Chains A and B, each alone.
Chain A
Amino acid sequence: MSRSEGVETSSRQKAKALAGLRFGDAIFRGLTQTAAVSVLLVLSGVIVSLVIGSLPALRMFGFGFLTSEVWNPVTEKFGALAAILGTVTTSLIAMVIAVPVGLGVAIFLTELCPQWLRRPIGIAIELLAGIPSIIYGIWGLFVFAPFVQSSIEPGLIAIFGHVPVFSSIFAGPPYGIGTLTAGFVLAIMVLPFVASVSRDVFDTVPPVLKESAYGMGCTKWEVVRRVVVPYTRVGVIGGAMLGLGRALGETMAVTFVIGNAHKISASILAPGTTISATIANEFTEAVGDLYTSSLIALGLILFVITFLVLAAARLMLMRLERQKGA
């Protein structure tokens, strides 16, 4: 009698312990799911708070905010055009330099580099991709900008000064700081990034494809152009757009060397501004709701642009991954 009672209690205890475990399981699952959802909440929170913050400016200026060049805190007239154009121009300059050079580095690493040197150079490039942008900024300000001012810009002005069209792009006194310098510093910053993504993408090409091309007597360049690049085109474009996303939103590397001038200039030697540099320079000093709201509206525009670019890049890279998996 007492024995069966003991069995009963022990089985009841077991059931209790199992229920406890099941409860713990459900709690843990719920916790992880909540955390996953909170990632989505952060993103929507960012968007919602930026929209709310920029409402006063958008209501005041309407669509004209996007098309007006005026940025005058004194009269409280704000327009984003100069900053948007500056962001686009510096990023374009950066991509024009960083993409070909980055692809060159990737080709070097996958096709030309001796095997023993591949890992060290690859690692060095990946480490450099992690250096904080403020380092590039301080270098750009103290070392690169004076060099550009004394050596590069006078040359550019002398060469292009009498060529139509180019004379206005490379016009004006050599300041050292300006759109061109900012674009170049950005290029150096995104270069390791573009190079390491392209290298990873190039590595996905099945060796058999390259070997058969080499077997037919193709030169290295022909293999790269006819086999590697067609096979990885989507991935390379995706990697370049990831780099573009970084360049568009980059703040510190640009803020140091752009000059923070709110005017649109045909010359890329002149000081300009970008969205992120404007926010970084002026936000803490902004007086009045409209000024603050205009800066937040700039942030919203920047976020929307980078979101679109990054989303497109990710979709492309995802397509490549699916193709690799198939």
Chain B
Amino acid sequence: MSEALYASRRRSNVIVMGLCYAATAFGLGFLALILGTLFWRGLVGLNLAVFTQMTPPPGSSGGLLNAIMGSLLMTSLGVVIGTPLGMLAGTYMAEYGRHSRLASIVRFINDILLSAPSIVIGLFVYEIMVAPMGHFSAIAGVVALAILVVPVVVRTTEDMLLLVPTSLREAAAALGMPRSHVILRVAFKAARAGLITGVLLAIARVSGETAPLLFTSLNNQFWSSDLNAPMSSLPIVIFQFALSPYADWQQLAWTGALLITVTVLALSIVARWLGTSRTAT
């Protein structure tokens, strides 16, 4: 009787644990497959022309230069606008309003914005910028990206400032430092690596964003650095080229996808490395 019970318990344990192994193999296998395909098909088309030539018309060869530059420009401007706003908001929540009602509401809303559909942000920016201005523009794309940067930076700034020991702040305050100096010169300095991590994560998050750019910055087949005109970007070019029937374009789409993925992975790895090196000291 009890022998049978033991056997059945052992059997169900083996079955379920086997399923867990299978789930891990399944999940990691698929993810490895995606990355493998991406490198395989992306590397084939990777050459100097990708970085030196403009996006081609169908049927001829070319590169991704205007898309790469557009992405770099819009992402960096978006981060430059979004980061200070996010850091200030995060500072308020961690330093001034730690237990206030406002801070807890902002935290809740911020967490929702963190995973809100980015296409809706695109619609929002279309409504407030593209429609009144009457045309698509890079600056609208920048605003859309900045709105996506803010929640990421708010979250990490708050988390990192909360890690700074209160005794540091008290020591600085005891020396007669005003509150703003305590925060900027002591707390920020102590949390510096973490704050940089947050910014890197935000860059990683927005550099692959496609949906919010679809109807803000649109696309531009040519070189443009005019913020008031449509601008090309890597994700949009990938979207357009991948769905086209032309082999040249599809190849460029794979190469562009590889570039984005490598950038995002590199940024996340550096961010992670900064984060752990901070906790180690």
Cβ A221 vs Cβ B16 within 8 A: yes
Least CB distance from B30 to A in Å reads 5
Chain B 106-136 near chain A by CB (<8 Å), digits 1 or 0: 1011111101111111011011100000000
User: Is B224 on the interface with A (CB-CB < 8 A)?
Assistant: no
User: Is B192 on the interface with A (CB-CB < 8 A)?
Assistant: no
- Please report the total number of A residues contacting B with Cβ < 8 Å: 91
Which residues does chain A contribute within 8 Å of B56, judged by CB atoms?
none
User: Is A163 on the interface with B (CB-CB < 8 A)?
Assistant: no
User: Is A89 on the interface with B (CB-CB < 8 A)?
Assistant: no
Q: Which one of B47-55, B61-69, B256-264 is at the A interface?
A: B256-264
Cβ A39 vs Cβ B116 within 8 A: no
Instruction: Using CB atoms, name the residue of chain A closest to B179.
Output: A25
Residue picked from A21, A135, A242, most chain B C-beta under 10 Å:
A135
Cβ A28 vs Cβ B208 within 8 A: no
- Given A139-B38, A314-B112, decide whether A134 and B28 contact each other with a Cβ distance below 8 A: no
User: Is A165 on the interface with B (CB-CB < 8 A)?
Assistant: no
Instruction: Using CB atoms, name the residue of chain A closest to B30.
Output: A188
Residue picked from A100, A222, A310, most chain B C-beta under 10 Å:
A310
Cβ A25 vs Cβ B178 within 8 A: yes
User: Is A214 on the interface with B (CB-CB < 8 A)?
Assistant: no
Which residues does chain B contribute within 8 Å of A224, judged by CB atoms?
16
User: Is B198 on the interface with A (CB-CB < 8 A)?
Assistant: no
Determine the distance from Cα of A107 to Cα of B17 in the docked complex, in whole angstroms: 8
Which residues in window 187-211 of B have CB below 8 A to A? 201, 204-205, 207-211
Q: Of B17, B23, B261, which one neighbours A131 at CB under 8 angstroms?
A: B261
User: Is B58 on the interface with A (CB-CB < 8 A)?
Assistant: no
Q: Of B12, B28, B96, B113, which one neighbours A124 at CB under 8 angstroms?
A: B28
Residue picked from B37, B86, B151, B272, most chain A C-beta under 10 Å:
B37
Cβ A284 vs Cβ B215 within 8 A: yes
User: Is B222 on the interface with A (CB-CB < 8 A)?
Assistant: no
User: Is B180 on the interface with A (CB-CB < 8 A)?
Assistant: yes
Cβ A50 vs Cβ B257 within 8 A: no
User: Is A43 on the interface with B (CB-CB < 8 A)?
Assistant: yes
Determine the distance from Cα of A188 to Cα of B103 in the docked complex, in whole angstroms: 35
Cβ A40 vs Cβ B128 within 8 A: no
Determine the distance from Cα of A191 to Cα of B27 in the docked complex, in whole angstroms: 7
User: Is B164 on the interface with A (CB-CB < 8 A)?
Assistant: no
Q: Is the interface of B mostly helix, strand, loop or mixed?
A: helix
Chain B 205-243 near chain A by CB (<8 Å), digits 1 or 0: 101111100110010000000000000000100110011
Determine the distance from Cα of A29 to Cα of B150 in the docked complex, in whole angstroms: 19
Least CB distance from A314 to B in Å reads 5
Q: Which one of A62-70, A71-79, A166-174, A298-306 is at the B interface?
A: A298-306
User: Is A85 on the interface with B (CB-CB < 8 A)?
Assistant: no
User: Is A155 on the interface with B (CB-CB < 8 A)?
Assistant: no
Cβ A132 vs Cβ B210 within 8 A: yes
Which residues does chain B contribute within 8 Å of A28, judged by CB atoms?
179-180, 183-184
User: Is A207 on the interface with B (CB-CB < 8 A)?
Assistant: no
Cβ B261 vs Cβ A36 within 8 A: no
Least CB distance from A111 to B in Å reads 8
User: Is A276 on the interface with B (CB-CB < 8 A)?
Assistant: yes
Provide a sorted-by-A list of 9 A–B residue pairs whose CB atoms are within 8 angstroms: A25-B178, A28-B184, A32-B96, A39-B150, A105-B27, A220-B13, A221-B12, A251-B211, A280-B119
The 7 nearest A-B residue pairs measured at CB: A132-B208, A249-B117, A104-B23, A35-B88, A32-B92, A219-B13, A28-B180
New contact pairs (20) apart from A33-B92, A248-B117, A249-B116, CB-CB < 8 Å:
A21-B181, A24-B178, A28-B179, A28-B184, A36-B88, A36-B93, A39-B154, A42-B113, A43-B113, A45-B124, A105-B27, A107-B20, A112-B20, A128-B31, A132-B235, A134-B210, A139-B37, A219-B13, A284-B214, A314-B112
Interfacial residues, chain A to chain B (CB-CB below 8 A): 21-22, 24-25, 27-29, 31-40, 42-43, 45-46, 49-50, 52-53, 100-105, 107-109, 111-112, 121, 123-128, 130-139, 141-143, 188, 191-192, 195, 219-222, 224, 242, 245-246, 248-252, 255-256, 276, 279-280, 283-284, 295-296, 299, 302-303, 306-307, 310-311, 314, 318
